[in-house]
Amino acid sequence: MDIKEAAELLGLSPSRFSELLEKKVLLQDWGEYEDFFRFSSNVGKIDEGSVLVKKGDAFEFVQGFPKIKRAIMLAPAIKSHFADIDAVAVEEKMNGYNVRVIEHKGELIAFTRSGHVCPYSSERANHLLEHDLFKDHPEYVIYGEMVGPDNPYVPKHIYEVDSLEFFAFDIRSKEGIPLPVHERRELAADYGLTQVELLGEFEVSEAAEGIRDIILELGKKEREGVIIKDPAMVLQPLKYTTSETNCADLRHGFRFYNESGKDYLFARVVREGFQSVEWNESEEDLEKRCLMLGKSILMPMRESIMHVQEGERLWEDVQIRVREVSTIDKFRMYLERLGLDIIFGSPELIGDEYVVKIRKMNKSTTDKTLGIIEGQLWS
């Protein structure tokens, strides 16, 4: 490839660019996706997960999705983070996985957060999204959450989604400049995109209280939480989640306790501590929270231990639903390349689509549990 041109686009010297390739900081995708190169770590202003796209002799750059910081105590976090603006927009934070969609050679391509082309998400995107917006605005990247039960990464039944749906939450230029909230929502509506719900707009001084009410309502439906945004999208958004989702994460995390990161588990317990203090809850509500938190940690662990005691291994079943049979093999190879221990079931034709069950083996928790049951010490 023409290294000089690619380097120039990224604002790097050709030698620096070659070095990034050599050190595998910039990695070429494979198979039919060889036009894409992802950044496996941050390089200056380039976020990890950003993608360099080869377009014939030219190149294009697609910025990654920036990290969204979390409010742990709502009122002081909002007051300090949004001190320079008057009002915030609150959107639902949906629980699925993040994809960025672009059009390339007439096809929609979906990148995961890390900048891989996901063959499953790309196939789905081609069926779920209208291509018109890309035809009229080739400069835009559409960011959204893939949500629903036919989801190989984060399957959830809490939404009114039968299979998998794409909910747009951001439209950005390829350089990563986001459209203001209302402009984005109008554009998405004009082109018939499904989008995350706008749950309200609040004066900054009243936002914490309004958001608490929203969070309590979302929690009753086991929903994940909210993203609090500067309507102009100049300041970075903040996220905040429901107690129910913290507990759901813990239930899943402790079921496979040896696969889950300790920071991941610990952070969710800390969130519960601060929420319970900030909301100054009654004795009765506090008791409920304690019970829920404790159950979320212990019950799934007990189940896993007993399961292994009975001689079983631990796994998690997910499923995908595809229209083209070829997507199944592409997706299997993709997961294997990522190093996942998976078993694909045989495709079942339902209507005009194939459902494939995928078993993800949790070897680490299985082996750890087996060892302990056999007398191994925790060192």
Name the one range near ligand ATP by CB under 6 A: 92-100, 157-165, 247-255, 289-297: 92-100
The only residue of 4, 24, 67, 157 in contact with ligand ATP, by rule CB under 6 A: 67
CA dist 118 to 41, 113, 224, 369, Å? 18, 10, 24, 33
Q: Which CB atom, from 223 or from 368, has the smaller least distance to ligand ATP?
A: 223
Name the one range near ligand ATP by CB under 6 A: 87-95, 134-142, 202-210, 318-326: 87-95
Instruction: Rule CB under 6 A: say whether 228 interacts with ligand ATP.
Output: no
For the CB of residue 47, give the shortest distance to ligand ATP in the complex, in Å: 10
Instruction: Rule CB under 6 A: say whether 77 interacts with ligand ATP.
Output: no
Looking at the DSSP bridge assignments, the partners of residue 37 are 28, 52
The only residue of 36, 39, 65, 191 in contact with ligand ATP, by rule CB under 6 A: 65
The only residue of 94, 207, 215, 320 in contact with ligand ATP, by rule CB under 6 A: 94
CA angle 63, 69, 73 (to 5 degrees): 165
The only residue of 50, 63, 98, 365 in contact with ligand ATP, by rule CB under 6 A: 98
Which residues from 169-198 bind ligand ATP, rule CB under 6 A?
Answer: 169, 196
Tokens 């049979």 found at? 325
Q: Which CB atom, from 112 or from 366, has the smaller least distance to ligand ATP?
A: 112
Instruction: Rule CB under 6 A: say whether 337 interacts with ligand ATP.
Output: no
Q: What is the largest CA-CA distance in the chain?
A: 67
CA dist 147 to 144, 189, 334, Å? 9, 19, 20
CA dist 312 to 70, 95, 315, Å? 38, 30, 9
Instruction: Rule CB under 6 A: say whether 93 interacts with ligand ATP.
Output: yes
Instruction: Rule CB under 6 A: say whether 68 interacts with ligand ATP.
Output: yes
The only residue of 7, 26, 227, 320 in contact with ligand ATP, by rule CB under 6 A: 227
For the CB of residue 155, give the shortest distance to ligand ATP in the complex, in Å: 15
Cβ proximity of 230 and 85 under 8 Å: yes
For the CB of residue 7, give the shortest distance to ligand ATP in the complex, in Å: 28
Q: Which CB atom, from 186 or from 329, has the smaller least distance to ligand ATP?
A: 186
Instruction: Rule CB under 6 A: say whether 240 interacts with ligand ATP.
Output: no
Interaxial angle between packed helices 283-309 and 243-255, expressed in degrees from 0 to 180 and rounded to the nearest 10: 20
Question: Around Cβ 151, how many Cβ atoms within 10 Å?
Answer: 24
Residue, CB closest to ligand ATP: 98
Please give the helix or strand (H or E) that residue 316 lies within, else none: strand 315-322
Alpha-carbon torsion 147, 222, 115, 330, what sign? negative
Name the one range near ligand ATP by CB under 6 A: 93-101, 251-259, 283-291, 356-364: 93-101
- 66's tokens: 């920036």
Name the one range near ligand ATP by CB under 6 A: 19-27, 65-73, 181-189, 364-372: 65-73
Exposure of 232 in the CB half-sphere (CA atoms within 13 A)? 7
Instruction: Rule CB under 6 A: say whether 91 interacts with ligand ATP.
Output: yes
Alpha helices, DSSP H, located in the chain: 3-10, 14-22, 74-81, 119-128, 132-136, 181-190, 204-220, 243-255, 262-278, 283-309, 325-337, 363-373
The only residue of 123, 145, 150, 272 in contact with ligand ATP, by rule CB under 6 A: 145
- Report the interface residues with ligand ATP, using CB under 6 A: 65, 67-68, 91-94, 98, 145, 169, 196, 227, 239
